[in-house]
Each structure stands twice: as structure tokens, then as C-alpha cells.
Structure 1
């Protein structure tokens, strides 16, 4: 179920990201301004698909039935090309929370399934694994093909939420697919505890993320069910550190690292520090959930924003706070980074073209100490 892979991350000249599941939908250009290389979903439907023409007015009709829906979760399709002539590689990073949103949005965006060779699951939480089996079914039905599913081996029996101070388990998350279910639905399970590259060496999937930042104290109220030896009973145990969580990274020539952190239970500062230590490359873009939503996490927002905007040199060119980042975090990042804080959402696409000619201007990053 596991395999050994090279740990050399190959730089790319082309990276395209399509957001297939997110909590937010913003598909009109008037709703938010996007930087160069970013496109709203509206443009996709008007320019990349044959729209129905109204016979009376002769005007294209917006196909609202095909527009993406938002959902509490995350999924991104990552397309990488090592060189301008290289064949593209497609990797699906997470699958959203349930069986409908990912399948609907793939269909609405007319996303071809054949090129998607691998699914990388960031961590075992249902809002990231809930669409996995339906995706495998959909791809299998269309192509008769199996899909590699890249996961951390420590799959929990169940996870729940036990908010302080009572620490009472108020609910259980839907169970993640088992390895047996993944195989039965057309997946090929690969378990990886250590960091490794995929997609021809163009995407790094991390191992367990070192916890080195004091204020990033994990998931408040996180609990894991520990079954008895015979599997007939068990009990809940506190689990603030979601150690199966992994990030992904792509190194773009002339720009630096694009980091995908689907939920940041480890803390985005810990994620960035690990990526910098490993690759000695500046952070060009941060994508995904920052897990700073809710009043119980409000005290982590300022030190996180201060690190990204002041302590990290150079600061990221773009931060895309999505999924579980929270409104207050987006406001704080926008105040610190201006247009570098991008209001991305489901249906958006980002295209980043790397340039070997610009590589000489890329400097190693540094972190200021306070």
C-alpha cells in the first residue's frame, strides 16, 4: 500500500489551479477584483463553453444550472508542467465534504476526468474526504479506470468535536472512507507517512508537519475515538494535533513556492516554516484554509498575519484565505497585504507561468526574529 518516491521537487514553468469545492462562491467580476492570472467562473461559462442563445434576443444565456455550488470543505485540481513542452500532470487535492458538490462542480466546469491520475488527501476529516468515493465512482464509470489515492496511514476510526470548557463530545464527524472502501470503489491506496513527490516530481506532499510555533496550538476541541482491542467498545481521547495533516507545494520557476494547506490544523506558520526549511525558496502564494475562524481562535489571527506580512521576508505575493479561514482573518490579511490577499472561491482558476529568465532574481527567504 505504500511506496518509496524521490524527494527532489522539480520546478515547473506552468501551474494551473481550479477550485472545485470551497465555502465561498464569487463568480462576478464586480463582486471582487482579482489579480492577473486569476479568472472568475463567469468567464469560463461565457468563453469556454457553447452557451445557449436566446432566439428572441440573440444573446447567450447564463447557464445557472451549471454554476458551481459552495460547500463547507475544500478541493482543488492542480495542473503542473515541468517545462513548456512537458505533458501536463493533473492531481486532485482533497474532495470536499459530501457526494454531491464535487461531482456537480466537475460537471458544471466540464472538467475532464481522464487526466486526473492521483487524489491527495490532506488529512482525515470528512469535509476533505467526503467526496472521495463518489469521485472514484464517477471516474470509474466514465473511464473504467482506477485512481491512485494518496493518504496518511493513520486513519481514525472516528473524529468528533468536544468544545471547552465542558469537553463534552457534541457531535461526531461522518466517518472517512476506509482503505477497503477506497479499493472497492476503484482506488489504489498509497499510504505515506513521510514527504514525497508526485506528478512526475512536480508536487511535494509533506510528511507530518513539525509543531514549532507556540501560539499554533492545534484544533481546539478535537477528539479521536480509540476503539477497544476487540473493536466492540472504546472511548474518546483529546486530539488537538491532527498529525496526519499534510500540505502540498509546487515550485514555480522565477517565483517560488505555491503552498496548499487545506485546513492548517498544524498552523500555517508551521507549514511555511517547514516548506522554507526544506526547500530554501520564497513563498510566492499560500492557498487554502487557515483554520482561524471562530472567537476561540481570534487571538491567533494577529501573530499569524504579522508573521506572513512582516516576519517572513519576502512576504508572500498572494495569500488566498479559503475554506475555514474566517471573515476576520480575511479582513486582517487584506489590511496587511492589500491586493495580495485574494478573495478566491469555488469556480475560480489561477494560472501561474514560470520563467527561467527570472530565476536569477529569486532570493532565499528569511524569517525575522522578534
Structure 2
């Protein structure tokens, strides 16, 4: 069991989320922005791999994810600010933090869910903005350096290969050295651990136990040549335990599959699931067959069922429709700029029971 402290107050602010769809099937005459850039706008070619870049710095949309997590325990007046992912580029994260008037200098940890640029692309820009905010802070209350919680297996490059043909590579993730040069403290871990004074759990590698969740189809990694890497084993989720409510799960992309994520969280933390937040990666046409068993698990095989599911980022329109049909108001259309407040309930805590999953291998 993990020594995760229960929190009495939790606030979540969504800094970055998708505002357009890149993946869903569209009628004739409609073109997704990514396809337009790759086929008509002469994309920049990566000299290392000879593959077109997805140049997120110059795309119109904010395809990515970032959430600011505020945690506070009942016996402490201190609120810990933890940033989970940083969005896709150097502009969105700083613009949206400023728009929401976030005290950037008070964010003392950044958790990166996995090494994909739509989650890591804002790291260096965030760190520069934080450094500027720290320099303007009172000299008597200088914040500690920001810690960057990272999986040690950073890839050289990752790409997209639908049907086996590589059509593009993702932008570079920031390096450990670049983060350190800007004053960030790098902590590497592939094992589960708690942070933010014990109020946030960061998972280790997620066990793959379901039969229908088969990773990110067409994902490749550069190792002198492109090799298949559909499992994305550096992916991690985060969890917070609210008194009388249960676990709030942050799964930025769910390349492991959200059912695998939930099963690992329950096995590790032995608490019911109150809320599931983030990308469920069910948007592309080749993943549509995963929607029904995913919704069935969340609505029918997990007991108690989650109070809320916030399908964001890469979840896709069809998955949102099916979740709303199964969960009703429990499916919440959250997005950039939204805020969620969750207050603990000690009375309800006494009535809670361990979660039950009717079919562990479904």
C-alpha cells in the first residue's frame, strides 16, 4: 500500500485542453489541420530522420493537456500547487497561466505524464515564466526551485506510422540538461511515489491486463531507425485521495488504456474512484471498437461507478457521446479555463467501502 495522504480540499484548473479535433473522420471537403500542414504547407523536414515535423509552435490549435492541481490536508493551511503536464508549445502554457492569474512562482512541482510533445512542449517556457515571477517576488519569501518529475526513458524522437508508414515525427521533448540549465531540479522515476507533501501519487509503469486496450496504434520510436513502440511504457497517471469522496485520477492520454489505469489505481490504493480526468485516447477511427468495452467497464463493471468522468484532450467526440449516454450528468464537458473544487466529507468517509470490479480481465 502507498502512504498517500488524504486531502480535505482539492482544486483543479485546466490550463490546456483540445479546442479542435485532429483525428475524427470528417466529410469530403473537410481537412484536419494536421493533414493540411503535412500535405499542403511544405512542412519542415527533420534532418535526422528525414520525416516531416509536426510543428506545434505554428499550429492554430492547442492540442495537448495541462492541469494545475491544488491540494490541502485538514491539518495544514499550506496549499501545494502541482502542474500535471504543460501543453504542446511555448505559447499556450504561458498565455493561459497568465489569463487565469496563476501565481506561477508558487508551483513547486511539474509532473510529466509521458514523453509526447503535446504534454512536454511547454516545459521550458513555463520554467522561464516561473523564473521571471520568482525574480519579482519578495526577497524574504523566495520560492524553492521547481522540481520536474520525469520518467527516465526520454526518447530521441517519436513518430506516427498509420498502416506502418511513417508520416510525421513529434517535436523534440526538452532534455534533462535544458531543464537544469534553467534552474529546474530533475527527479527521474519509473516507480510509484508520492509528492506534494504526500498528497499526490505518481504511478509507476502501468500494467497492461485488459484484452482490448492495445496501446497507441502506429506509434514508432527512433533508435537509429524507426521501430514500433505502441505500448508507450513511460506513461504515468496521478491520483489524489479526497476524504469521503475517493480517488481523483489524472490520465493525460491513457495510451495504456483507462481501464488498465483504473485497475492499477484500485489495486495500488484500494479506494473507490470518484472522478476520472483527462484524455481517454478513443478518437481515431481505428480505436472506435474500444469505446463500448471502456464505457461498459466504467458504467457497469466498476462499483461504485465514478461520480464524474471528464473526457478531455484525445478522448474524441464519439466516446464523449457514449459516456454521456451511459453516465448522464456524470460525464462533464470540461475544457481549458474550467475549474473544479472538491471538498472532503469526513462523515461520508465512515460509510465508504472498498471498490469492486466484476471482471478484472475485461
Q: TM-score range by the shorter chain?
A: 0.7 to 0.9
Alignment partner of 1:17 is 2:12: yes
Alignment partner of 1:137 is 2:128: yes
The equivalent of 1:169 in structure 2 is: 166
The equivalent of 2:217 in structure 1 is: 220
Alignment partner of 1:187 is 2:184: yes
RMSD between aligned residues: 1.4
* Aligned with residue 362 of structure 1, among 333, 352, 355: 352
Q: How far 1:147 sits from its partner (Å)?
A: 1.2
Deviant stretches of 4+, over 2 Å: none
**Does 79-88 or 179-188 show the bigger shift?**
79-88
* Aligned with residue 328 of structure 1, among 318, 328, 336: 318
SS in structure 2 at match of 1:114: helix
Q: How far 1:295 sits from its partner (Å)?
A: 0.8
The equivalent of 1:95 in structure 2 is: 86
Q: Distance in 2 between matches of 1:217 and 1:270?
A: 10
Does structure 2 retain, via aligned residues, the 8 Å contact 1:137–1:186? no
Listed as ranges, the gaps of 5+ residues in structure 2 are: 21-59, 136-142
Q: Distance in 2 between matches of 1:313 and 1:264?
A: 21
Listed as ranges, the gaps of 5+ residues in structure 1 are: 1-5, 26-68, 227-233
Does structure 2 retain, via aligned residues, the 8 Å contact 1:70–1:101? no
Does structure 2 retain, via aligned residues, the 8 Å contact 1:21–1:70? no
Q: Distance in 2 between matches of 1:291 and 1:186?
A: 33
Alignment partner of 1:281 is 2:271: yes
The equivalent of 1:123 in structure 2 is: 114
Cα-to-partner distance string for 1:203-239 (whole Å, 9 max, x where unaligned): 000000000011000000000001xxxxxxx101000
Cα-to-partner distance string for 1:29-67 (whole Å, 9 max, x where unaligned): xxxxxxxxxxxxxxxxxxxxxxxxxxxxxxxxxxxxxxx
* Aligned with residue 333 of structure 2, among 321, 335, 343: 343
SS in structure 2 at match of 1:215: coil
**Does 144-153 or 280-289 show the bigger shift?**
144-153
The equivalent of 2:281 in structure 1 is: 291
Q: Normalising by the residue count of structure 2, what TM-score does the alignment of the two structures yield?
A: 0.85
Alignment partner of 1:272 is 2:254: no
SS in structure 1 at match of 2:289: helix
Q: Distance in 2 between matches of 1:357 and 1:119?
A: 33
Does structure 2 retain, via aligned residues, the 8 Å contact 1:254–1:355? yes
Q: Distance in 2 between matches of 1:209 and 1:85?
A: 32
Q: How far 1:86 sits from its partner (Å)?
A: 2.8
SS in structure 2 at match of 1:251: strand
Does structure 2 retain, via aligned residues, the 8 Å contact 1:24–1:322? no
Does structure 2 retain, via aligned residues, the 8 Å contact 1:20–1:76? yes
Q: How far 1:13 sits from its partner (Å)?
A: 0.4
Q: Distance in 2 between matches of 1:81 and 1:70?
A: 33
SS in structure 2 at match of 1:307: helix
SS in structure 2 at match of 1:71: coil
SS in structure 2 at match of 1:361: coil
Q: Distance in 1 between matches of 2:120 and 2:184?
A: 13
